[in-house]
Amino acid sequence: MFKSRPSHLFLILNSKTILVVNIKIKIVSLGKVPKKILEKVREELKIAFRMVGDITHTDRLPKSTYNQFRNQYRSHEVLNFLEKNYEGRILGITNEDLYTESLNFVFGQAKMRGRVALISISRLDPAFFRQPEDEDLFEGRAVKEAIHEVGHMTFGLGHCRNRECVMSFSNTIGDVDIKTKYLCDMCKMQIGL
């Protein structure tokens, strides 16, 4: 069901896939992302998927991925940028707003069963909705979106109908707040957790 890389991430046993070792991931901060968010995401990826994260910083997203008329960045092009410029498994986190051709904005995007994923914290900040500062809420939202995109990228998980499952699709910030940072039992079963 999953293509294992040379480091053998999974053990196939009786057609069930079992996660056996720590998986490495590079968390790439693109632009101005609060350190606490990066640390929190690293911590929670370890809890959720036993992933060992390493944080690196870059100044900004490439200009070629920017749409000046929308003041947003094209997420699939940013994913291509990450794939081209970084080795290994990558989660990009940016403070800039992202979109794809078919959607006004996206909280994140990933290459399904690939090695690059991306989230934007722009619309996760309560300040975006003119609400009072709330670090816990802000960090919690970033964690959910990070786990969601990594679920697509590394485990090939699709969207889940359980609205509390971290793999449910978020169209609005309300959807992000309804879901938890946890996989539901069905999704867990799919990846052998």
Choose one: 10-18, 62-70, 134-142, 161-169; the region binding Zn ion (CB under 5 A): 161-169
What would the x/- binding string for Zn ion be over residues 25 to 54, using CB under 5 A? ------------------------------
Residue (of 67, 76, 72) closest to 95 by Cα position: 72
Helix axes 135-155, 35-49, angle to 10 degrees: 50
What whole-number distance in Å separates Cα of residue 9 and Cα of residue 150? 15
142 touches Zn ion (CB under 5 A):
no
Pick the stretch among 8-16, 27-35, 56-64, 176-184 that binds Zn ion (CB under 5 A).
176-184
Give the one residue of 98, 121, 153, 184 binding Zn ion; rule: CB under 5 A: 184
Based on the shown chain and the rule CB under 5 A, indicate whether residue 176 belongs to the binding site for Zn ion: no
- Sole window of 22-30, 58-66, 115-123, 182-190 interacting with Zn ion (rule: CB under 5 A): 182-190
The whole-angstrom distance between residue 145's C-alpha and the CA centroid of its chain comes to 5
Q: Is position 106 an interface residue for Zn ion (rule: CB under 5 A)?
A: no
Q: Is 9 in the site for Zn ion (CB under 5 A)?
A: no
Q: Let me know if 87 is a catalytic residue.
A: no
For the chain, the maximum distance between any two Cα atoms, rounded to a whole number of angstroms, is: 53
CA pseudo-torsion sign 118, 88, 167, 57: negative
Q: Binding of Zn ion at residue 79 (CB under 5 A)? A: no
State the Cα–Cα distance between residues 77 and 156, nearest whole angstrom.
20
Catalytic residue among 96, 145, 149, 164: 149
Q: Hey, how many other C-beta atoms are within 10 angstroms of the C-beta on 82?
A: 22
- By annotation, the residues acting in catalysis are 149
* Interacting residues with Zn ion (CB under 5 A): 160, 162, 165, 167, 184, 187
